Amino acid sequence: MIGVRELRAELARHVRRAAAGERVVIAIGGRPAAALVPLTELPSGIEPLLASGALVPPRRTDGGRGRAPIPVWSGARLDRLLRELRG
């Protein structure tokens, strides 16, 4: 078990440990709070993560961008451009 301070100081080393198959438990105030685990321990696919609430589905499902990019001239003030776009 490691503390958050140690995790911050040596994050790359602890991620490598987890990638090698070791479970790294992270403590906050001396109590276990989270764990770095190898990807092989995670359920396969995205569905179990969505079902457990560990992953939030995207709000947009169309997969595209909202609007096409708007050409602007150099030196334009952002507040004025936004006011013009919003009407």
The residue extents of the domains of the chain are 1-44
Measured CA to CA, the distance from residue 76 to residue 87 in angstroms comes to 17
Does the pTM exceed 0.85? Answer: no
Answer whether residue 2 shows pLDDT above 90: yes
Higher pLDDT pick, 12 / 72:
12
User: Going by CATH, does the domain composed of 1-44 fall within 3.40.1620?
Assistant: yes
